[in-house]
Structures are given as structure tokens and as C-alpha cells.
Structure 1
Amino acid sequence: MDIKNKHIVITGGASGLGLELLRQLEADNHISVIARPSAGVDLLRKAYPDVSIYEADLADLDAVETAADALAKTGQPIDMLINNAAVQYTARFTDTNFRYETIRREIDVNFTSVCVLVHLLLPNLMQSPFSMIVNINSGLALAPKADSAIYCATKGALNIFSQSLAYQLEGSNVGVKQVFLPLVDTSMTKGRGSNKLAPQEAATEIIEGLLSPRANIDVGKVKALRLIQRIAPSVATRIMKAA
């Protein structure tokens, strides 16, 4: 798929990896962003006046529906929907600082909102001669870690959803791809981990992968994880458990 003169929708495009994808794609394409109201959105408006912005906290499904409806009603075909936004809470269920209310937010941002957006924007995706749904996933969808159980579960759900959705859309003009990321240096991962991949590098690898026919785009260390899983699954499990 040639990525020029396309209408690309990016969730969470006001910061982190989403913003870097926008920077690398904006010159040759029209970008629409769905992002929660924030100072980053205000800066985005000033820096990229040609970008269309639809404000919605993806944990608020009513707001997601309102934003998607507004985007759909423009009548513009959508060539690519990049479901990038995510949140991660690291407290364990056994920790005293575990917050019950984060469960629903994490599920809605990371998974439910993706399903909602795919459903509501599918008619616009169908209008393009060839379009693509790109779900940004994590290596934790392949093997979970001990922390962030809800996050790992949402990414596992996104993996299965993406595969089933691809089956449903076989023979149509809409393709489905998944991106499996290692730890990327964004605000979400601040203070955690080491040797994190820079967002610029991650975005470049993703865009290169979008040009290939592969359904799965493994970025950075995820390539090694796939190999270890094939050769020694128990080793991969131990590595990721302690991640």
C-alpha cells in the first residue's frame, strides 16, 4: 500500500508514538486525530493547522461515539485507521496502591474503544479502493509480564480481535494489520525499563512494515521474542514474566 495522498486517522496522535507517526506521515497525507483534550492537543493545533482533530477521552465511550460520528459525517473516505492510543497501570492486584477504578479505564481505552471505532468508521473505510485497519499492539500480547495484568489482557484481546476481524474482512477492500511493539520511550513508560526504543525509530519501522504484505509488523526486540518462542517457549515465558 502506497502511503501518499491518503486520509489517515490516528488515535492518541497528540503525544508519544502517535505524534511521531503523525510527523512522519503528515507531509504526504491528510491526518485526522482522535485524542483526549489536553495541552498536547492545543500544541498540535498550532503546529499542524491542517490536521483535523476530534477530541475524545477514549475511556468515555459516549465521547468516542460522538467523535467518530463527527468524523464519519464528513463523508471522507478513510484509507487507514491507526488504533494507537493506550494506557497502562502497573500496580498489581496485591499492591496496596491498586486502584479498582483503573480496571474499566484500561479496558475501554485499550480495547473497547478500538472495537467501537472499527464499527463506526468501517463505512468510511469501505469507501476507499483499498484501506487498512492498523492495531498497535505489544509484545505482551504474545507473553504477559507479572505487572500490569489488565494491560496484558487487553493486548491479548486485541490480538485475537484483530485476527478474527481479518477473517471477517477477507475478500473486502479493508485489510487488517497488527504492530507488536517492545518497550518504547513515551510518557506511558516513563520511569520504567531500560534500553527503550525511541518513538522515531518505532514509527519508522511501523511505516516500513505498512508497505509490506505482512499481516504482523514486529518491531525491535519483538523479532527476537518471536524466535525465542519458537525455539524455547518456556524461556520466552520467563523473560516476559520478569519484564
Structure 2
Amino acid sequence: MNLVGKHIVITGAASGLGLELLKQLHDDNEISVITRPSPGLDDLRRSLPDVHVYEADLADLQSVETAADLLIRSGRKIDILINNAAVQYTPHFLAEDFRYETIRREIDINFTSLCSLIYLLLPNLLQSSPSMIVNINSGLGLVPKTGSAVYCATKGALNIFSQSLAYQLEDTNIGVKQVFLPLVDTAMTKGRGTAKISAVQAATEIIRGMRKSGANIDVGKVKLLRLIQRISPTLAHKIMKAG
């Protein structure tokens, strides 16, 4: 897709990868963001006042519905929806610091709100030709690790959902793409892992993939993970379990 003159909606764009996607797409396109209130959002409003901001806590589906309704009522057609927002809680179920209430929050932000937002904005997306839904996933959506079990589950669910959604929309003007990321250096991954790629590199590769055909955009080491998974699923699971 030619990424010029489009109206692009990005979730979770006040920091990290979402903010970097916004910056790289901003000059040639009109951008709307759906994101929770934060100091980063205040900075975004000051630095890029032409970006349309719709505040929403993606763990609260009523808040998601309100933001979607306001976006639709703005009268701007939507060409691209990038579902980027996600949270990850790392404690194991057996850990003393595991918090029961994070289970629902993680599922709602990472998966339920995404499905809801796609459904609510679908009539608008159907009015553009062509249009695109881009779901930001993880290598953990292919093979899980030991930690962050709920996060891994939401990413696995997102993988299957995106494939099925693509089947449903294959005779429409809407294309569905998935981005499979390695560990990206953002606030969410602070203090975890090594050999991270920068948000700048991740965003650059995502945008390059959005311009090309194909349903999957594999970034960085995910290319190797997919190859190992194809050759030896057992080895892929062994590597990721220890990761």
C-alpha cells in the first residue's frame, strides 16, 4: 500500500513502538491515536498538535466504545488501523507477587479491546479502498516462553484471530496483516532480556512490510524463529521455553 495521504489510527501511540510508528508515518499522513492518559500523551499533544487524540483505557470496553464512536462521528474515513497497544505482566502464577486482577486486564487490553475496536470501526474501514488492519503481534504468538503465560496466550489468540479475520475479509477491500516482533527496547521490556532491537528499527521494518504484499511481517530474529519452527518445532519450543 502507498502510505501517503492516508488516515491512520494507532492504538497505544503515546510511547514506545506506537510513538515511533506515529513519528515515521506522521509527515505524509493524517494520524489519530487511541491511548490512555499519560505524561507521554501530554508531550505528544504539545509536540504534534495536529494529531487527533482519543483517550481510552483499553481495559475498559465502554471507554473503547466511546473512543470509537467519537472517531466515527469525526467524519474522517479510516484507511489503516494499527492495533499496537499491549501490556505484559511477568510474574509466574506461583510467584508471591502475582496479582490475580492482572489476568483480566491483560486479556482485555491485548485481545478483547482489539477485537472490539476492529468490529466497531469495520463499517468505516469498508468505505476506503484499499484499507488495512495491522495487528502488532510477537514471536511469542508463534511459540510461548515460560514467563508471562497470559501475555503469550493473548498473542497466540491474536495470531489465530488475525488469520480467521483475514479469511472473513478476503472478498472485501480490507487487508489484514500481522507483525511478529522480537524483543523491542521499550518501557514495557525494561530490565528484561538482551539483544533488543530499537523501536526505530522495529517501526522502520513494520512500515516497509506495510508497503509490501503478504499477510505476515516478520521482524528481526522472528525470521529465524519461524525457520526453526518449520524445521524442528520441538527445538523452537525448547529455545523459547528457556528464553
| TM-score category, normalised to shorter length | over 0.9
Distance across 2 between alignment mates of 1:154 and 1:107: 6
- Give the structure 2 partner of residue 171 of structure 1: 171
Distance across 2 between alignment mates of 1:11 and 1:35: 6
Q: How does 1:181-196 map to 2 (within 5 A)?
A: 181-196=181-196
Q: How does 1:130-145 map to 2 (within 5 A)?
A: 130-145=130-145
Distance across 2 between alignment mates of 1:231 and 1:162: 24
Question: Following TM superposition, by how much is the alpha carbon of 1:127 offset from its aligned partner in structure 2, in angstroms?
Answer: 1.1
- Give the structure 2 partner of residue 113 of structure 1: 113
Distance across 1 between alignment mates of 2:202 and 2:166: 24
Q: CA-to-partner distance for each residue in 1:37-95, whole Å, 9 max, x for gaps?
A: 11111100000011000000101111111001100111211000000000000000011
- Give the structure 1 partner of residue 224 of structure 2: 224
- Give the structure 1 partner of residue 37 of structure 2: 37
Q: Is the 8 A contact 1:75 1:124 kept in 2?
A: no
Residue 25 of structure 1 aligns to a residue whose secondary structure is helix
Distance across 1 between alignment mates of 2:2 and 2:141: 28
Question: Following TM superposition, by how much is the alpha carbon of 1:242 offset from its aligned partner in structure 2, in angstroms?
Answer: 1.3
Q: Is the 8 A contact 1:141 1:156 kept in 2?
A: yes
Residue 89 of structure 2 aligns to a residue whose secondary structure is coil
Question: Following TM superposition, by how much is the alpha carbon of 1:129 offset from its aligned partner in structure 2, in angstroms?
Answer: 1.3
- Give the structure 1 partner of residue 235 of structure 2: 235
Residue 3 of structure 2 aligns to a residue whose secondary structure is coil
Q: Is the 8 A contact 1:77 1:126 kept in 2?
A: no
Note if 1:13 corresponds to 2:17: no
Distance across 2 between alignment mates of 1:199 and 1:48: 19
- The one-letter amino acid paired with 2:148 is S
- Give the structure 1 partner of residue 214 of structure 2: 214
Question: Following TM superposition, by how much is the alpha carbon of 1:225 offset from its aligned partner in structure 2, in angstroms?
Answer: 0.2
Distance across 2 between alignment mates of 1:122 and 1:75: 14
Q: How does 1:4-83 map to 2 (within 5 A)?
A: 4-83=4-83
- Give the structure 1 partner of residue 102 of structure 2: 102
Aligned identity (percent) is 71
Q: CA-to-partner distance for each residue in 1:162-184, whole Å, 9 max, x for gaps?
A: 01100110110011000000000
Q: 5+ residue gaps in structure 1? A: none
Question: Structure 1 residue runs of 4+, over 3 Å off?
Answer: none
Distance across 2 between alignment mates of 1:163 and 1:72: 26
Distance across 2 between alignment mates of 1:242 and 1:53: 40
Q: CA-to-partner distance for each residue in 1:88-119, whole Å, 9 max, x for gaps?
A: 00000011111000000000000000011001
Distance across 2 between alignment mates of 1:75 and 1:110: 27
Question: Following TM superposition, by how much is the alpha carbon of 1:230 offset from its aligned partner in structure 2, in angstroms?
Answer: 1.1
- Give the structure 2 partner of residue 123 of structure 1: 123
What value does the CA root-mean-square deviation take over the aligned residues? 0.5
Farther off after superposition, 66-75 or 78-87:
66-75
- The one-letter amino acid paired with 1:24 is Q
Question: Following TM superposition, by how much is the alpha carbon of 1:32 offset from its aligned partner in structure 2, in angstroms?
Answer: 0.2
- The one-letter amino acid paired with 1:186 is T
Distance across 1 between alignment mates of 2:117 and 2:239: 34
Give the alignment's TM-score, normalised by structure 2: 0.99
Residue 28 of structure 1 aligns to a residue whose secondary structure is coil
Distance across 2 between alignment mates of 1:166 and 1:130: 14
Q: Is the 8 A contact 1:79 1:128 kept in 2?
A: yes
- The one-letter amino acid paired with 1:90 is T
Give the alignment's TM-score, normalised by structure 1: 0.99
- Give the structure 2 partner of residue 180 of structure 1: 180
